Amino acid sequence: MRGPHNILRLIRTGATLERTGAMGLIMDAFEAPPLVRGTMRFLAWPFQWMGYKGDETTPPAPRALTALGPAYIKFGQILSTRPDLVGEELAGQLRVLQDKLPPFSVDVAKASITHELGHLVEEMFDDFSPPVAAASIAQVHKARLRDTGEAVAIKVLRPGIEKAFRRDIDAFYFAARMVELLAPGARRLRPTEVIAHFEGVVMGELDLRLEASSASEFSANTSGDTGFQLPPVQWHLSSRRVMTMGWADGLPLGDNAALDAAGHDRAELGERVLQLFLNHALRDGYFHADMHQGNLKVAGNGDIIAYDFGIMGHIDEYTRRVYAEILYGFIKRDYRRVAEVHFEAGYVPADRDVDAFARALRAVGEPIFGMDASRISMGSLLSYLFEVTERFGMETRTELILLQRTMVVVEGVARSLNPQINIWQVARPVVEDYIKKTIGPRAALRDFGRTAAVLSRYGPRLPGLVEAALIRQSAPPAPPPPSPWPMRIAFAGIGATLGAGGAALALAFM
């Protein structure tokens, strides 16, 4: 229920951050101005007794977010991939949220598997291990199939996770509506629609049958990608709350020391993970939308292995072309074209000045070129982009939220492998290849062929459709509908004869 009772939940959020010591740490990481810092501390301090205590053996930030629940943990997972935003220390602390949360008991996991699959765990698996990873929504066990001996990963949802997520999302809706009410200028960001989008993504992640389907489709799309692997789905051992896949054997992509010891080229890995994401998003329009270090490994032969397909992103072909043209314009430093694409796609209101918008985009893009990544303040860049969008009335594009969020995460992963990586130089060959294939004379001919094929399917029906349209155009106007009042009077009369109950029924029909 989305009501004022969520005030308590939001107060408890601030109180928990204050009680655990995470408030000051987060304010420092984001370099919050003194007024914001003072206001937040002033509002949270009197209520810190209401905050969750959390696990005192863990650092303040993961302690607070873990205590607050799964939706907050998701937020922490995103920040853990952005040391350029929150600093190396805080990013390192938050990394435990990716797959090192407190697990639930093996007995509970076995009971859930037995209930979902209809057989005892011992009948299906050998060497059923304790949890090898525990995240915000589920935990994973390693086992072997009794009939083949193949090593598999068994993912099991946390007990009561659906209810916990609904509670958090409920509070987020309330916060979004308060923002729209108290800060009308923020309505262009469509916070309620953003939360609705987040809700749809999360609720889909809570059905492991959908995740298995996503993994299967993703595998079909990427089967030809060099240096990329996906573990196969074991469909006969998967259900709504349990999913079984092949075991991904490799080193965690976030363990730089282990990667160096094994002789892997971290700079090349950083470039590859970024280019793989761009290929999946632009070429296929279907991409892994949770590509943090906890969901990526490096095989012995150097292949990147992706798993955990609970959050996948999809963008249609037109949006892909718009996104590619924007990226390509920044790469070519053609800010006028970037501005025009925003106007053509309707991202910026048509009454705004395209030249002024192009100049604002130049101020965003130029600092990137000629500088190594370590000298670029991504926080400052994002802050300026927000000012630009506000000034030109750009609305939040809910269909691009997941793409933008994943781009931030993947860039963070790439930079954790190679702090000197230049995102624009790495992205250039992928974007240029996509532009050549989808924009230009050859692409126009292909699009025309597709259009002609669609029209040809309607060929036999076209004469009838034209004739029907001409008949509708020449037909006399339809008479006005009869007044509803005789019907209403009749219902009222029937109600009067049936007494008070009938009168209420009559009013309902009126």
Active site residues: 290
DSSP-assigned letters across all residues of 187-211: GGG-HHHHHHHHHHHHHHHT-HHHH
Residue type, 180: E
How far apart (Å, rounded) are the C-alpha atoms in residues 14 and 328? Answer: 41
DSSP sequence for 342-406: HHHTTSS-TTS-HHHHHHHHHHHHGGGTTS-GGG--HHHHHHHHHHHHHHTTPPP-GGGHHHHHH
CA atoms within 13 A on the CB side of 108: 13
For the record, the structure tokens of 15 come out as 């109180």
Q: Six-digit token pair at 217?
A: 């489709």
Pairwise CA distance, residues 32 & 363, whole Å: 23
Residue 177 CB neighbour total at 10 angstroms: 15
**Phi, psi for 252 (deg, rounded to 5):** -60, 135
What is the rounded distance in angstroms from the CA atom of residue 163 to the CA atom of residue 422? 42
3-state helix, strand, coil in the chain (%, to 5): 65, 10, 25
Rounded Cα distance between 157 and 308, Å, is 12
Give the up-direction half-sphere exposure of residue 365: CA atoms within 13 A in the CB hemisphere.
Answer: 21
Q: Token pair for residue 472? A: 């509708």
Angle at which helices 34-44 and 6-19 pack, to 10 degrees? Answer: 110
Say if residue 282 is exposed, middle or buried (CB neighbours under 10 Å; 0-12, 13-18, 19+): buried
Q: How many residues does the chain have?
A: 510
Residue 227 gets the label, from left (phi > 0), alpha (psi -120 to 50) or beta, of left
- Closest C-alpha to 276, from 264, 263, 291, 266: 291
The C-alpha atoms of residue 303 and residue 296 are separated, in whole angstroms, by 10
**Token duo for residue 312:** 């996948």
- Compute how many other C-beta atoms are within 10 angstroms of the C-beta atom of residue 60: 20
